[in-house]
Structures are given as C-alpha cells and as structure tokens.
C-alpha cells in the first residue's frame, strides 16, 4: 500500500505527465494547422522542442477545475470558453510583455481584443473543452493507467524528473534565443 506522501507525489507526477501529453498534442495540432494554412512546416510553439505549454496548462485547467461539468455540455462550453479565453489573453499578454513577440495574432478576426483573443477562438475553446472533458481525457487516463501499471513508481518518478529537466533546459534556451 502506498503511503500518503507517495500517493500525493504519484498524483502530482500524473498531472505533470498530462501536461506533457497535452503540450505535445497541442504542438502537433498547431503544427498541422500552420502547415495547412501556411503550406510549410512552422514551429508554432514558444519552446524549441515539440511542446506547446499553453495547451498543457490549458488542459490542466480543464482537468483540475472544469471536469466537474462533465456531461453538462452547455455549462462546460460557456465556462470553458470564458476561462480558457481569459487564460489565452493572460498568456499572450505576458509573452508579449516579456519577449516583445506575438505567437498568435487575432487582430483580423471578429471581436478580437488586442489581437490576443477573439470570439471565434473562444467558441473553439468551448467545443474543445467538451471533447476533452467528455472523451479525450477519460481515454488518456485509461491509456495512462495501463502504461503506469507496467512500470514501477520509482521509474515513473525518474521519467517525470527527466522530462521536467528537459523542458526547463528548453525553456531557458528558448528564452535566451528570444531575448538575444
């Protein structure tokens, strides 16, 4: 039986793993979207590696704060559209202030605010929330549980630490490249 502290560490590590999974999926989606729109590969993330942390954090917001609306699609849609759009605005603001760069620009989109958010993408976040909370995350949990049952808690901890070190190094190198 796991001790309380080990259970808490395992839970935290699980959320860190979800962050990596959804950051990677976000990077893939952004890259595909850019390829379709631009016609060529474009690294759409802040980081040099294949992760978009804004998606990882956004999905953690959904998992930790909004999963209570699972099955209540109308409520989930509106709450997620507001919360995730607010999060997108704050993230865009800080990226712009710190690095003086825009990773996205909705200036030409309907009902945008400072080019950081717009109504069409707010609606997209609401739809994505319904899909993630009701279908994608339960599937991700199921697959993650199966995989984690095949490794020891110590191995899982090592994997999370290695992934965390890699993203910290990537964050530092990416920040240096943007600030130089």
* pLDDT per residue as tens digits for the range 98-112: 999 898 999 999 999
CA 130/CA 141 separation, integer angstroms: 16
What 3-state DSSP class applies to 172? Answer: helix
Average pLDDT over residues 145-149: 92
The answer to whether the CB of 109 falls within 8 A of the CB of 120 is yes
* pLDDT per residue as tens digits for the range 13-24: 999 999 999 999
Domain residue ranges of the chain, discontinuous segments joined by +: 15-179
Predicted structure pTM score: 0.91
Backbone angles phi, psi at 71, to 5 degrees: 85, -15
pLDDT confidence band for 9 (50 / 70 / 90): low
* pLDDT per residue as tens digits for the range 75-87: 999 999 999 999 9
Q: What is the mean pLDDT of the chain?
A: 93
CA 98/CA 92 separation, integer angstroms: 10
CA 73/CA 150 separation, integer angstroms: 34
Taking Cα atoms as reference points, which of 92, 44, 82, 32 lies closest to residue 62?
A: 82
Average pLDDT over residues 49-69: 96
């Amino acid at each position: 039986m796991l001790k309380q502290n080990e259970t808490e560490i395992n839970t935290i590590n699980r959320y860190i793993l979800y962050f990596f999974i959804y950051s990677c999926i976000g990077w893939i989606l952004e890259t595909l979207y850019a390829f379709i729109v631009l016609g060529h590969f474009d690294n759409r993330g802040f980081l040099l590696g294949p992760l978009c942390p804004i998606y990882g954090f956004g999905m953690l917001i959904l998992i930790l704060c909004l999963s209570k609306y699972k099955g209540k699609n109308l409520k989930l849609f509106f709450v997620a559209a507001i919360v995730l759009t607010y999060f997108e605005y704050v993230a865009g603001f800080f990226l712009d202030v710190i690095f003086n760069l825009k990773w996205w620009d909705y200036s030409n989109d309907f009902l945008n605010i400072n080019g950081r958010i717009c109504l069409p993408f707010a609606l997209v976040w609401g739809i994505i929330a319904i899909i993630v909370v009701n279908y994608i995350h339960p599937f991700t949990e199921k697959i993650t549980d199966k995989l984690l049952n095949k490794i020891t808690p110590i191995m899982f901890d090592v994997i999370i630490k290695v992934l965390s070190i890699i993203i910290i190094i990537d964050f530092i190198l990416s920040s240096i490249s943007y600030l130089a």
